[in-house]
Amino acid sequence: MSTDTLLSVDNVTRRFGGLVANANVSITVRRGEILGLIGPNGAGKSTLFNLVAGTFAPNEGRIMFEGEDITTLSAPLRCQRGIARTFQVPRSFDSMSVLDNVMVGGFVRARSAAAARDIAYETLEFAALAHRAGASAGDLTPPEKRRLEVARALATKPKLLLLDEVMTGLTPSEARLGVELVRKVRDQGVTVVMVEHVMEIVMPLVDRAVVLNLGTVLAEGRPHDVVRNDAVITAYLGERHRAA
């Protein structure tokens, strides 16, 4: 494995009964990059995300993180090693405060409540949510809930952050703030892999893109090359994109 490779997914296959969600998928994620994972609905993006995060294990293949085989490690153990994630549908502890929600992430590294609280305050400042620290998580707007999820994941002090459609449903101004946050995260030395459907947002943001279709890797490369790929246009972007 190259020294600049943080994550390596090698010939991974995941089946659900007779359905093959991922078939011999191989990707590498380089340290310090923002990698976009795109493709049509049912392409296998969420399954691949869950395999990397440790929600379930592959039927075949292996997953390496920082040179260690983590294929059989549980999600909590992967989090301790530096892999954090958000969810497509935000998951917050709505009866708890915003601060307490982020402290949950802080306890991955902190040895005391005071230390977890310090991490949470620092992370909320970074995520521009400090003004909502005392609010109930259930009172947040949908964009704020997405930002809260990012903050809770960042509080675990990850090396790799998996973002699952964090820009979905945002207004243009909210999306701009989301893009700024992702870039700030990368500037802090955190590698980012993000699943997104909003091409106008993801393509200018990512350094590389991997396109999945029918559970396999259809194309990968620099964004402006990927969007010109005939197979990607046919399977995902559509003929209107080709004409444009």
pLDDT of residue 42: 87
pLDDT of residue 41: 87
Instruction: Note the pLDDT tens digit of each residue in 162-221.
Output: 999 888 888 888 889 999 999 999 999 999 999 988 778 888 999 999 999 999 999 999
Token readout for 182 is 């992702």
Q: Tell me the CA distances in angstroms from 169 to 71, 115, 149, 165, one per residue in order.
A: 33, 34, 15, 9
DSSP 50-116: HHHHTSS--SEEEEEETTEE-TT--HHHHHHHTEEE--SS----TTSBHHHHHHHHHTTT-SSHHHH
Q: Helix 98-106 crosses helix 142-154 at what angle (to 10 degrees)? A: 30
> Tokens 């949950």 — which residue?
104
User: 124: which DSSP letter?
Assistant: H
User: Which 3 state secondary structure label does DSSP give 131?
Assistant: helix
Instruction: Identify the bridge partners of residue 20 per DSSP, sorted by sequence position.
Output: 15
For the CA atoms of 143, 149, 153, 155, what is the dihedral angle to 10 degrees? 90
Instruction: Note the pLDDT tens digit of each residue in 127-152.
Output: 999 999 999 999 999 899 999 999 99
In this predicted structure, the answer to whether residue 115 has a pLDDT above a threshold of 80 is yes
CA Rg value for the chain: 18
Write down the pTM of the prediction.
0.92
The span from the CA of 67 to the CA of 88, in Å, is 28
* Helix or strand run (H / E) with residue 65: strand 60-65
- Of 12, 100, 24, 120, the closest CA to residue 58 belongs to 12
The span from the CA of 188 to the CA of 180, in Å, is 12
